[in-house]
């Protein structure tokens, strides 16, 4: 399954449509020459509510991890009350290990993202946009800042009204650099960081759409999500729905459109590729990435960032859509950036490394996450050393299952990522763990008295 034409990457040479060595950052002038900002012009000819309805009809599911429909989220905003500013926050934190899809857009086609931002501001009547970028993205921050300045000079943003006064509505866009904490990728942790506070997730409700940045109505969307709105405005929802997959379960939501999928690990050609949602992981690896490195066999893959859990050896043909969780016992599609493992991978080491990450990145606000992540890491280190018993494997599963939004013990989903990663690796690769631990026997004494 391949696309017949690039959509989000039409200005970014990528396999199979172009040579990645020819990539360069698209300037404002070149973006306009290739049809850029035409979608914004078309959106400004529509009423804001019409744009919201169009995006809602397209069912553009969030590309940042949760998969929640963007258009539906926009409808949660209260009516404009004139009592203060309304905000858009763009999540480009991208600190999920193995994820580098948003970076592709920022590096090479930043105005595609800015056009999506401007359309969203118009549709939702949002006055100020904050582009929240990962602290380690030094080059990308400079690229995006330059693009924002170009867009402002061209009248896309600023006090003159959008598109140099085509409409009186005005919006402003600012770059905000993260300090590098993984937890700031959580939407309310992101809001706290923009406000100048510690990146610490908030208790919900109220949700950001009602009370977000500086206590005002706020929409938080991912970079790729906003970029996807541009071609939908250009070509319509019927075209968008011709790509991807319908809902596989009664009452479910479809997975329409394309998805940027950054593939890393034991493949011949790692990289970021645009593929239709619903593509099989095996097709992504074999057709786009040139197969498994060294001709080795597939062992497993983290389908969409480490917090989503792992696909087992018998799940190589898993469909990469938003229903992957229900089908293959993982948390979800996440960022759809798979890390692929070959037959020689030590899954105990993989679990221990993931647990170390979550232990270090826990903000410490919730006791089950703060303490549980530390204990999971300690026990996995014991397993890796060969000092553990089979009882420790059961303890790991018990610890993991007690953490997260699922059991209702934490404020945000960081603990769920730790939970699903550890549980799925141990469950699907139990043999690897049992080879490293000692059996534990509990003697039973029978007495006639």
Rounded Cα distance between 263 and 186, Å, is: 23
Q: d(Cα 4, Cα 237) in Å, to the nearest integer? A: 18
Angstrom distance (rounded) from CA 217 to CA 6: 35
Instruction: Please tell me if the domain spanning 20-242 has the same topology as the one spanning 255-342.
Output: no
Domain ranges in the chain? 20-242, 255-342, 347-434
Burial label, 342 (beta-carbon count in 10 A; 0-12, 13-18, 19+) = middle
- The gap between the terminal CA atoms of the chain, to the nearest Å, is 71
Beta bridge partners of 331: none
The span from the CA of 407 to the CA of 263, in Å, is 31
* Domain 255-342: top CATH class: alpha beta
Contact indicator for 391, 309 with CB cutoff of 8 Å: no
Architecture of domain 347-434: Up-down Bundle (1.20)
Cα 376 from Cα 422, distance rounded (Å): 8
Cα Dmax for the chain: 95
Cβ-proximal residues to 6 (8 Å cutoff; 6+ apart), any chain: 12, 14, 17, 18, 274
Four-residue CA torsion sign, 289, 293, 299, 304: negative
Query: If one looks up domain 20-242 in CATH, what number appears?
Result: 3.40.50.11540
What is d(CA 98, CA 337) in angstroms, rounded to the nearest whole number?
Answer: 6
Listed residue (335, 292, 288) closest to 313, CA to CA: 292
User: Per-residue pLDDT for the chain (449 aa), expressed as one digit of tens each?
Assistant: 678 899 999 999 998 888 888 999 999 999 999 999 999 999 999 999 999 999 999 999 999 988 999 999 999 999 999 899 999 999 999 999 999 999 999 999 999 999 999 999 999 999 999 999 999 999 999 999 999 999 999 999 998 899 988 999 999 999 999 988 899 999 999 999 999 999 899 999 999 999 999 999 999 999 999 999 999 999 999 999 999 999 888 888 999 999 999 999 999 999 999 999 999 999 999 999 999 999 999 999 998 889 999 999 999 999 999 999 999 999 999 999 999 999 999 999 999 999 999 999 999 999 999 999 999 999 999 999 999 999 999 999 999 999 988 888 999 999 999 999 999 999 999 999 999 998 876 666 666 66
CA angle 117, 123, 127 (to 5 degrees): 65
């Amino acid at each position: 399954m391949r696309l017949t034409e690039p959509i989000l990457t039409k200005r970014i040479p990528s396999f199979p449509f172009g040579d990645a060595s020819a990539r360069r950052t698209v300037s404002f002038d070149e973006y306009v020459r290739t049809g850029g900002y035409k979608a914004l012009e078309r959106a400004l000819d529509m009423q804001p509510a019409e744009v919201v309805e169009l995006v809602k009809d397209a069912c553009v599911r969030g590309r940042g991890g949760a998969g929640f429909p963007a258009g539906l989220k926009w409808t949660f905003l209260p009516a404009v009350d004139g009592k203060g500013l309304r905000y858009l926050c763009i999540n480009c934190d991208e600190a999920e290990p193995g994820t580098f899809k948003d970076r592709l857009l920022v590096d090479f086609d930043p105005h595609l993202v800015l056009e999506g931002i401007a359309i969203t501001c118009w549709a939702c009547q949002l006055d100020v946009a904050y582009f929240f970028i990962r602290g380690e993205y030094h080059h990308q921050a400079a690229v995006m800042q330059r693009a924002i300045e170009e867009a402002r000079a061209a009248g896309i943003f600023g006090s003159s009204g959008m598109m140099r006064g085509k409409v009186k509505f005005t919006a402003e866009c600012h770059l905000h650099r993260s300090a590098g904490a993984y937890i700031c990728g959580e939407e309310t942790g992101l809001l706290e960081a923009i406000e100048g506070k510690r990146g610490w997730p908030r208790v919900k409700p109220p949700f950001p759409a009602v009370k977000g940045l500086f206590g005002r109505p706020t929409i938080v969307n991912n970079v790729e999500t906003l970029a996807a709105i541009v071609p939908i405005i250009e070509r319509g929802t019927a075209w968008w729905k011709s790509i991807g997959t319908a809902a596989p379960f009664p009452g479910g939501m479809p997975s329409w459109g394309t998805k940027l999928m950054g593939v890393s690990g034991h493949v011949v050609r790692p990289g970021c590729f645009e593929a239709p949602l619903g593509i099989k992981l095996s097709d992504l690896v074999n057709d786009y990435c040139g197969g498994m490195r060294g001709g080795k066999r597939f062992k497993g893959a983290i389908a969409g960032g480490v917090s989503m859990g792992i696909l087992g050896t018998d799940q190589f043909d898993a469909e990469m859509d938003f229903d992957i969780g229900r089908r293959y016992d993982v948390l979800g599609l996440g960022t759809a950036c798979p890390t692929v493992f070959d037959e020689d991978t030590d899954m105990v080491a993989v679990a221990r490394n993931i647990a170390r990450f979550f232990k270090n990145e826990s903000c410490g606000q919730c006791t089950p996450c703060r303490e549980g992540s530390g204990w999971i890491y300690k026990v996995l280190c014991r397993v890796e050393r060969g000092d553990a018993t089979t009882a420790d494997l059961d303890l790991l599963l018990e610890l993991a299952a007690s953490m997260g939004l699922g059991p209702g013990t934490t404020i945000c989903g960081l603990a769920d990522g730790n939970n699903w990663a550890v549980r799925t690796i141990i469950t699907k690769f139990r043999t690897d763990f049992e080879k490293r631990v000692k059996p534990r026997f509990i003697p039973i004494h029978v007495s006639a008295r």
